[in-house]
A and B are shown apart, each in its own frame.
Chain A
Amino acid sequence: MIDRIGRRAVAAVQAIGRFGHFLADVARAVGDFSTWRGPVLVQMRRIGVDSLPVALFIAAFTGIVLALQASYTFTGTVPLYVVGAVVGKTIMLELGPVLTGLALAGRVGASVAAELGTMKVTEQVDALETLAYDPHAYLVVPRVLAGTVMVPLVVALGIVTGIVTGWLTSLALLDLSTAEFLKGLKLLYRFKDIWFGLAKSASFGLTITLVGCRLGLGTRGGAEGVGLSTTRAVVYSAMLILVLDAFWAVVLL
């Protein structure tokens, strides 16, 4: 029993050490601009633009549900225009960044880990090295930069979409006017709501891509290894997003 705990503790410390090495390699590779400047645009499209449909779909329905649930909660106790405040505040601060982050942990994290894992087990990563490329500069930096820049942009569009669907729901189903909805929206709004949500989203993008890249490049074995890395990338990213969400709430709010 003690032996097993000891082995697991050693394995955990080794994993942290390897991740530290990985971060140092990535930081060094950021200086290799000529290598990553080409692939970064491709990754921005894949991670950002291609994620828009799923992110906007989630945001649209979140806005609808928020408006209806707020109305259900407030009817008879609080003026109904507060629905606008609830929709805006909740989507900007929490649901926009976190729901999009979790969705992208699945979509982007899995895709990055599977792609790099497959490259690893088919020796494509070794081939890159023999051609004198640094895999961290060619494969990791473009994905991490694209994730850090594009996830906040996707979240920003998601926030707009959620507020718009919340407003349309209020007009169509709650007998609220546009003026009332906007009054509620402005009621509790602070500029910090926006930058807090977007800064948090950037940290989610960074985390999703770093975890996906690390697990992908650490893949061993064949198809089974790729599957394991992919699953771990999604699970670890999702867990880290929730931990980061709590961390930022404690530090910044």
Chain B
Amino acid sequence: MIQFRDLRKAFDDNVVLQGFTLDVADGETMVIIGFSGSGKSVALKHVVGLLHPDAGDVIVDGRAVSTLDRAGLTALRHEIGYVFQFAALFDSMTVAENVGLGLVRRGLGDEEIAERVAEALALVDLTGTDAKLPAELSGGMRKRVGIARAIALKPRYILYDEPTTGLDPVTSAVIDRLMVRTREHLGVTGIVVTHDLRSAYTVGDRIAMLYEGRIRQAGTVAEIQRTTDPVVRQFIEGRPE
């Protein structure tokens, strides 16, 4: 279970999170929506300790992330897969090396790494791309390699940062299907940060809207679609005012 507890974070004078509180239950996929620059990705980075909160904390299975020492943080990161907005693939490595890098860190043998890489690439329909470099892939393929890198770890949790941003509708639908398939296949708990509502409705069990540094409303997909909250309505209807 992942719990955001009164999380506060500012960058100089720019207050991004001010009392962000949210629970993500085991096995569910929670989608966090919100306007661009509202702090969705900032919240996500706190889960793996990439950012340190000014106050509050993220609790993962009872562990307060900001209090973990290096060994504790390493153990936590072994349980979490992270899919970055622009994939963040290592330019100098092949697809197979990118997907297998986390497994090397976990001390797996070469044979097992090769098996897990092949399995992960098959799951994202990229079998045969092992030897390609990231520069040779399209944007959608890069995102799928990013997902393969996360699922190869067989994590308990997967965090997706804007997984469909910048993709055409068909490729976005492919990524959505992939996220659903990953959850069914691995039974992982997921947090998806996005402002793509079609994606949110497809992959989310629950949706939470982040507004002005805290959760404005959280509920099931149906509850969000029926909301009477003016800010949430404006967002889901895409009205300028």
Contacts and interface: CB of A to CB of B under 8 A. Distances in A.
B85 interface: yes
Given A132-B102, A132-B105, A133-B105, A127 B82 contact: yes
Interface residues of A, number: 14
B5 interface: no
Given A132-B102, A132-B105, A126 B86 contact: no
B102 A131 contact: yes
Contact of B50 (A119, A130, A132): A130
A80 B74 CA distance: 67
B77 A122 contact: no
Contacts of B102: 131-132
Contact of A123 (B49, B78, B85, B91): B85
Q: Interface size bucket, B side?
A: 20 to 34
A123 B78 CA distance: 19
B84 interface: yes
Given A129-B50, A130-B50, A123 B86 contact: yes
B148 interface: no
Contacts of B70: 134
A118 B134 CA distance: 15
B63 interface: no
B65 interface: no
Given A123-B85, A124-B88, A131 B77 contact: yes
Interface string B82-113: 10111011110000000001100110000000
B77 A127 contact: no
Contacts of B78: 132
A123 B162 CA distance: 14
A130 B82 contact: yes
A127 B89 CA distance: 8
Nearest to A129: B50
Given A130-B48, A131-B101, A131-B105, A123 B84 contact: yes
Interface string B39-82: 00000010011100000000000000000001000100110111
Given A123-B88, A130-B77, A132-B106, 10 more contacts: A119-B90, A123-B85, A124-B90, A124-B91, A126-B50, A126-B88, A127-B88, A132-B77, A132-B102, A133-B101
Q: Which 8 A-B pairs have the closest CB atoms?
A: A131-B102, A127-B88, A130-B82, A123-B88, A132-B77, A132-B74, A123-B84, A124-B88
29 contacts: A35-B105, A119-B90, A122-B88, A123-B86, A123-B88, A124-B88, A124-B89, A124-B90, A124-B91, A126-B45, A126-B88, A127-B90, A129-B49, A129-B50, A129-B77, A130-B48, A130-B50, A130-B77, A130-B80, A130-B82, A131-B77, A131-B101, A131-B105, A131-B149, A131-B153, A132-B102, A132-B105, A132-B106, A133-B101
Interface of A: 35, 118-119, 122-124, 126-127, 129-134
